[in-house]
Amino acid sequence: MTEQTTADAPETPGAPAVETPAPPAPQERRKLFAALRWNAAVLTFAAAGTGAAYGITQAERTDLPGLSTRNDGRWAYPALAKPTLPPGAAQPFAMDNKDGIHYAALPQLLLPAPGGSTPDTGLKLEKDQAVSVDTFLEEYEPTTRPKMKQGFTDDGLRQIAARGWTMPDGTRTRIYLLRFHSSGFVDAFEGCGIKMNLNGVNRIEGDSDWSKVKNDQNPPDLADVSLFAEAAPVGDEDLKAGCVKGGDVQAVVLQTRKGKVAAVPFHQTVMLQDQLLH
């Protein structure tokens, strides 16, 4: 990724050079996927009650299936909890809410930052994690922004919330949640996919690491999840992008890093955000 990318986290003067981590071994990717698949089962079990835990997301838990005491590179996220709904409001995708309308406040649906991270001070947040349309569009090539902005006006965008953080290895994560008036508008949104024109990125393609994981596993239904990676040649920064559709909410997950974005924490981040929306 070239230096055109906006709002990069500033480098700390005198900080040691960051070494590119070796890609995780296939067996470690399998362990992560099994752990997250188990989390999804916990989510289904807990879906009936507000305030119930979504699943265990700590890095090391030997008392749960699929988790290892060995560090495979996953991040230590806090346990996720279902947001509190207004009295009488239906859960997303319940029998009486098949369109997946989220009645919780949008910031409650944002994945929390993992342990060891620092907030991304370059992300222009407003009150309650809100960001403006213009701030979100800074992630895209300038030539595409006017058309996208008009599309938001025409196609039922209600609000955008975001969270960003940087890890000690220099990996920068930005998660944007776009709430529309209905799932139909989410389906029509073209700003997250193989044709997305991200700022400073020549071209993106399907994430080959994700394809290998799916081929090696029997994954749960992930029809609403798509993962992409920056195609070679890559500039100073590597980029991976995750797209999650959840009813009336579209999640856009972006990770960048000098060198290479590690596969395991990227997949982990996208899958956990998917859980929060479902």
Question: What's the per-residue H, E or C state across 126-172?
Answer: CHHHECCHHHHHCCECHHHHHHHHHHHHHCCEEEEEEEEEECCCCCE
Note whether 173 and 266 are within 8 A (CB). no
> Taking the domain 100-277, which CATH number applies?
3.40.1000
Model confidence pLDDT, tens digit, residues 59-91: 333 332 333 334 689 999 999 988 989 999 999
* Amino acid at site 221: D
Model confidence pLDDT, tens digit, residues 222-270: 889 999 999 988 888 999 999 999 999 999 999 999 989 999 999 999 9
Note whether 178 and 160 are within 8 A (CB). yes
pTM score, two decimals?
0.77
Domain boundaries, the chain: 100-277
| C-beta neighbour count of 134 within 10 angstroms | 10
Query: Which residue shows structure tokens 């346990």?
Result: 79
Model confidence pLDDT, tens digit, residues 160-203: 999 999 999 999 999 999 999 999 999 999 999 999 999 999 89
What CA–CA distance (Å, rounded) separates 98 from 212?
A: 32
Instruction: Give the model's pLDDT for residue 101.
Output: 95
Instruction: Give the model's pLDDT for residue 59.
Output: 34
* Closest to 75 (Cα-Cα) out of 109, 37, 115: 115
Query: Which residue shows structure tokens 């000098």?
Result: 258
What CA–CA distance (Å, rounded) separates 191 from 117?
A: 27
Q: Would you list the DSSP string of 169-194?
A: TS-EEEEEEEEESSHHHHHH--SSST
Structure tokens that stand for 196 in this block = 């997305």
* Closest to 129 (Cα-Cα) out of 177, 170, 82: 177
Structure tokens that stand for 166 in this block = 């940087």
Query: Who wins on pLDDT, 3 or 52?
Result: 3
Instruction: Give the model's pLDDT for residue 32.
Output: 52
